Amino acid sequence: MSNPRVVVITGASSGIGAEAAAQLGAKGWTVCLLARRADELAEVAARVRDAGGQAHTYPVDLTDDEQTHAVAEAILADHGHVDVLVNNAGRSIRRSIRDSLDRLHDHERVMAVNYFAAIRLTHALLPSMIERGRGHVVFSSTMSTQVPIPLFSAYLASKSALESYARSLMAEMGHRGITTTVVYFPMVRTPMSGATSIYAAMPMMTADKAGGWLVKAVIDRPTRVTSLGGAVSQAGMSVLPGVLTKVVTPQIRRMDKRLSRKKSAASD
């Protein structure tokens, strides 16, 4: 019998990660679920098994170096190999730069989860992939790095750093069978986006559909998964960044005002 296909998904206790896990389970994958909350991981594992896959839970704080290396060792001991690592865990803060001038910890906390935790786990699993001569690493990012978006400087800086790392990894290890995908999500209806109350009135991608984007990244392994609008905006920022910024950012401010009015009207 051939070896099972093994995927590791971080941030798997809810939202996009949980949906991707269930969908990969339906395709027969062995899914290793990583997050801090053991009880919620157990619920997702049950969904994966109900869908026909195998699921294994690994509660872990990926900002902790010792825990991360221990969980990587446990996964390899349990399964022998990892075919795909999905770095999906994330944290976001919506705050202006002006309001963050005395809050450097905002950037430090977001980088700890979005960037350093992802790199820490990637480095822990890469040697086994290199030894096998194949492996794929997926990085969840955001369409907002493709468009000039205000108020999310800490979040976008961390995701931009992650994207640069993904490109470097591909450039250095592609000839050794290690490939990468960056997934540029639009706004997705998850607990993380729900933390910003005005976004309740904003149309968003469903977590189920977003999970499908991660599944595409795992199975098809393109260099990126994005929307047409995201790809066009990214090209525009490469050619005319100043013009695009002047056009887009006033529209975003107007959108925030509309959302705030809708929120106020809904609460009256």
Q: Residue 158: what pLDDT?
A: 97
Structure tokens at 45: 């594992």
**In the prediction, which pLDDT does 247 show?**
87
Residue 143 belongs to a domain: yes
Planar angle of CA 203, 13, 25, nearest 5 degrees = 95
Distance CA 229, CA 101 (A): 32
Tokens 């995201």 belong to which residue?
230
Parallel/antiparallel/unpaired status of strands 30-35 and 54-59: parallel
Domain CATH number, residue 14: 3.40.50.720
Q: What was the pLDDT predicted at 265?
A: 61
CA distance 134 to 94: 38
Quote the pLDDT of residue 2: 54
Task: Say if 125 falls within a structural domain.
Answer: yes
Q: Spell out the per-residue pLDDT of the chain, length 268, in tens.
A: 356 899 999 999 999 999 999 999 999 999 999 999 999 999 999 999 999 999 999 999 999 999 999 999 999 999 999 999 999 999 999 898 999 999 999 999 999 999 999 999 999 999 999 999 999 999 999 999 998 888 889 999 999 999 999 999 999 999 999 999 999 999 898 877 766 666 776 778 999 999 999 999 999 999 999 999 999 999 999 998 999 888 888 888 787 777 677 656 666 5
- The single residue of 115, 155, 165, 184 carrying the catalytic annotation is 155
Q: How many domains does the chain have?
A: 1
pLDDT score recorded for residue 125: 98
- Give the closest residue to 23 by CA, choosing from 189, 184, 221, 211: 211
Which residues constitute the domain of residue 227? 6-267
Whole-number pLDDT of residue 82: 98
* pLDDT tens-digit series, residues 182-230: 999 998 988 777 666 667 767 789 999 999 999 999 999 999 999 999 9
3-state secondary structure 28-57: CCEEEEEECCHHHHHHHHHHHHHCCCEEEE
In a domain, 84, yes or no: yes
Mean pLDDT of the chain: 92
- Among 60, 63, 86, 59, which Cα is nearest to 185's? 86
Tell me how far apart the alpha carbons of residues 238 and 178 are, in angstroms, rounded to a whole number: 27
- Residue 1 in any domain: the answer is no
Task: Read off the pLDDT of residues 50-71 as tens digits, 9 standing for 90 and up.
Answer: 999 999 999 999 999 999 999 9
Query: Is-contact 204 187, C-beta < 8 A?
Result: yes
Would you say the pTM of this structure is higher than 0.85?
A: yes
155 included as an active-site residue: yes
